């Protein structure tokens, strides 16, 4: 029963389209910009850091709250299920007709719920790399370092479960690649009826 409650909580929280709402507040439709991804990174590219930070914080908070609720309901594995459900909710949101993002910031927030010490280490690494190479590099290194940091703080089964969450993100990146625009106007025209 706890697992079912965790799935519902996680999915509903994940379905809140925070980045879309932040961007729309500033007059931007993320579906129509860059790669069309309605996530925090696209919001950052379109709005700049000063206006996009609520998108990052909100997308992370969805899974953080879900993970903490799951852990309170039944321990680490229930928390993991809640984080996974939040990531799925972010990718296939109920409140945005199933057109969601790639769940990277949900993963980050969930990491703090599931393994706070490893997540804190990765945050420090992210900040250091950001100072040296910029935010794009810092963010990537921070995310990919998480399972490595977990090796020192968590049971191996938890590290493997993290691998499943990261595989979900990888699958979303593969599935959500935008196809190139047609070469000519004729190719873009709908077929005659």
- 86 vs 12: CA distance, rounded Å: 7
pTM for this entry: 0.84
> 38-51: per-residue pLDDT in tens?
888 888 888 888 88
> 108-166: per-residue pLDDT in tens?
999 999 999 999 999 999 999 999 999 889 999 999 999 999 999 999 999 999 999 99
Give SS3 for 160: helix
What the block records as the tokens of 65 is: 């709250």
Give residue for tokens 């190719």: 187
Domain boundaries in the chain? 2-115
Q: Residue 116: CA atoms inside 13 Å, Cβ hemisphere, count?
A: 7
Rg of the chain, C-alpha, whole Å: 18
> 85-116: per-residue pLDDT in tens?
999 999 988 877 778 888 899 999 999 999 99
- Please check the confidence at residue 181 and state whether its pLDDT lies above 90: no
Q: What is the mean pLDDT of the chain?
A: 86
């Amino acid at each position: 029963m706890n697992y079912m409650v965790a799935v519902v909580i996680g999915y509903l929280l994940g379905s809140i389209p925070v980045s879309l709402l932040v961007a729309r507040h500033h007059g931007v439709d993320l579906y129509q910009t860059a790669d069309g991804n309605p996530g925090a990174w696209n919001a950052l590219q379109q709005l700049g850091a000063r206006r996009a930070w609520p998108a990052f914080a909100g997308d992370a908070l969805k899974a953080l709250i879900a993970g903490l609720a799951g852990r309170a309901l039944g321990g680490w594995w229930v928390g993991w299920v809640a984080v996974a459900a939040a990531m799925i909710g972010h990718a296939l949101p109920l409140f945005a007709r199933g057109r969601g993002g790639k769940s990277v910031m949900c993963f980050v927030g969930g990491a703090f719920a599931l393994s706070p010490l490893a997540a804190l280490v990765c945050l420090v690494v992210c900040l250091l790399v950001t100072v040296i190479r910029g935010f794009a590099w810092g963010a990537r290194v921070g995310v990919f370092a998480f399972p490595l940091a977990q090796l020192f703080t968590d049971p191996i089964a938890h590290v493997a479960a993290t691998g499943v969450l990261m595989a979900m993100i990888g699958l979303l990146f593969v599935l959500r690649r935008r196809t190139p625009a047609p070469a000519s106007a004729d190719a873009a025209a709908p077929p005659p009826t």
